[in-house]
A and B are shown apart, each in its own frame.
Chain A
Amino acid sequence: MSSRIYNCLSAIADVIEENKDFLTDLDREIGDADHGVNMARGFHAVKEKVPQDETDIGAVLKKTGMTLLSTVGGASGPLYGTAYMEAGKVLAGKTELTAEDFSAALQAAIAGIQKRGKAERGEKTMLDALIPACETFTAKTAEGASFTDALEAACAEANKGIEFTKTIRATKGRASYLGDRSIGHQDPGATSATLTLETILKFLKEN
């Protein structure tokens, strides 16, 4: 019997696989046309390498991060790898997730991405989806919203973040070489990050 956290990661892997061509096409516009391909390769490995019956959420996320780090490559590998490993550290030993845990894990993941990528909000990266989503999730749960209601609001903010990335020029990563030509295109990393949050929401609603 596979654990809940494994099933959730498996659902994320399936969504990444389904959106492989979409993410690669987004990257083709402003990058080097490999985001979907690389992420799909990494999450395929996650499904195979993460122990299905492990219930320690922190351990599973740490293994996920290490697997992504050694299979994705490019910039996404270290960034997503670091994000999952940092989230895993915060959740070490936990077998259930409260809203506070999720908020803390998301914050740790974001801090890890910022440190590794030396990036801030507003540079047309995944942070433009993740930071507003995290802020909204944390604020909504503080107001007493349920986990799923808060995550629903967070996903809406992440999608707004994707729209925001269309309006700005990239100053990090390969898209930055395009200068103003990157304006008008949505960031592939912000898109894959949003897909991840939406999949977690869908998983929680269905399970």
Chain B
Amino acid sequence: MKKLINEVDNVVTEMLDGMVAAYPQYVKRLPGLEVLVRAGGSEGKVALVSGGGSGHEPAHGGFVGKGMLDGAVAGAVFTSPTPDQVYEAIKAANGGKGVLLVIKNYTGDVMNFEMAADMAADEGIEVDKVIVADDVAVENSTWTTGRRGIAGTIFVHKLAGACAEAGGDLAAVKGVAEKVIANVRSMGMAVDACTVPAAGKPSFDLAEDEIEIGIGIHGEPGTHREKLTTVNEISDKLLEKILAEGIYNSGDEVAVMVNGMGGTPLMELFIANNHIKDVLAAKGIRIYKTLVGNYMTSLDMEGFSITLLKLDDELKPLLDAPADTPAFVQF
């Protein structure tokens, strides 16, 4: 394992302090906790709190700021944060108008955030939650834990965050989050696995000419392996599965996110996007806005995911609303 780290045990705490040092105008760290909240607080608005294991940077701390999140909890690498940490985040982010938890659908995240929500509710804080499950690679049946939450989560932060910033109450903010969740789908792939610092070796092994389709964002293996082909052909496969959902049809307007997994050159993401726009155009689907970059990464994994969000007249202004955070700035 070759990594630019010091002590394996200190990666999360050193990263958080480094983020605060870089962006003191946006975020502050709660003393002794793996929690970032807005530097200026969140008084008088509904607060959005998200989080999960670390290793997905800039998610989630990078999206704390005006128009997006109010608090982000960072667990150990790829490990859900504990209930006490989430509880402290809820308490600190609460601006008196209630707190919405944005949880990615993983067994650990759901359990830890729900326990924290119970603790906060006992203290009289109004807490509600949404669970993001946008990954179409996972079969959505009684035989699985349900679909994973992956890059589509960023759209939930953005649009629900805009609603909260505009003064929406907890029910309205939750309503936007649920509408985004209903209309967002993603799928990813990897050409190479990632290495968790504490594990010291790649999370799965791929031959030189093999790729892994349907990966999550924690180095867990995907649904199956294939021979490496062109990025156009790979994009076709990911889009085919997303479009098979039946949500995105001719005449619809969508936002597109081409998300890097952390170890993929931006050049390759743009090459993918160059083809994605053609595929959607051929289907009569209009692209309203495109995001290309590293939003929800998986350490040093090489690969990418495609996310589509169907828009309407309610969602478009929320997508366009200003945001000012370390990792997402829009005027």
Q: For residue A172, which residue of chain B has the nearest CB?
A: B145
What is the CB-to-nearest-CB distance from B175 to chain A, in angstroms, rounded to a whole number? 26
Is A72 an interface position by the 8 A CB rule? Answer: yes
Contact: B81 with A32, CB < 8 Å? Answer: no
Distance in angstroms from B8 CB to nearest chain A CB is: 9
Q: Using CB atoms, name the residue of chain B closest to A38.
A: B79
Q: Which of B108-116, B157-165, B241-249 contacts A (4 or more CB under 8 A)?
A: B108-116
Of the residues A33, A73, A177, A178, contact of B108 by C-beta under 8 Å:
A73
Cβ of B230 < 8 Å from any Cβ of A? Answer: no
The answer to whether B145 touches A174, judged by C-beta atoms less than 8 angstroms apart, is: yes
Q: Is the interface of A mostly helix, strand, loop or mixed?
A: helix
Select A33's contact among B111, B216, B219, beta carbons within 8 Å: B219
How many residues does chain B have at the interface if contact means C-beta atoms less than 8 Å apart?
A: 39
- CA A179 to CA B139, docked complex, whole Å: 8
Would you give the 0/1 interface string for B203-243, flagging 1 where the beta carbon is closer than 8 Å to chain A?
11000000000001011110110000000000000000000
Decide if A69 touches B218 in the complex (CB within 8 Å). Answer: no
Chain A residues near B204: list those with CB within 8 A.
28
Q: Is the CB of A73 within 8 A of B220?
A: no
Whether B82 and A77, one on each chain, are in contact in the complex, defined by CB atoms closer than 8 angstroms, is yes
A117 to B111, CA, bound (A): 8
In the complex, whether A171 has a CB less than 8 A from a CB of chain B is yes
Number of A-B residue pairs at CB separation under 8 A: 111
Q: Which of B76, B82, B216, B223 contacts A69 (CB 8 A)?
A: B82
Residues on the A chain within 8 Å of B81, using CB: 73
Contact, CB under 8 Å: A37 / B199: yes
Residues of A158-177 at the interface with B, using a CB-CB cut-off of 8 Å, are: 169, 171-174, 176-177
Judge whether B218 and A32 touch: CB under 8 Å: yes
Alpha-carbon distance A174/B110, docked complex (angstroms): 12
Known: A73-B76, A75-B107, A177-B216. A34 touches B198 (CB 8 A): yes
Instruction: Indicate whether B144 reaches chain A with its CB closer than 8 angstroms.
Output: yes
**What are 30 A-B contacts defined by CB distance under 8 Å?**
A24-B199, A28-B199, A28-B204, A30-B221, A34-B79, A34-B196, A34-B198, A37-B198, A37-B199, A41-B76, A69-B83, A70-B84, A70-B85, A72-B82, A73-B76, A73-B80, A73-B82, A74-B53, A74-B80, A74-B108, A75-B107, A77-B80, A78-B115, A117-B107, A172-B107, A173-B145, A176-B144, A177-B145, A179-B139, A181-B223
- 20 more contacts with CB within 8 A, not counting A41-B76, A75-B106, are A30-B221, A34-B76, A34-B196, A37-B198, A72-B82, A73-B53, A73-B75, A73-B79, A74-B79, A74-B108, A75-B80, A75-B107, A78-B111, A78-B115, A172-B145, A174-B145, A176-B143, A177-B144, A177-B145, A177-B223
Q: Which 6 A-B pairs have the closest CB atoms?
A: A75-B108, A74-B108, A78-B111, A73-B79, A176-B144, A32-B218
Residues of A whose CB lies within 8 Å of any CB of B are: 24, 28, 30-34, 37-38, 41, 69-79, 116-117, 169, 171-174, 176-179, 181
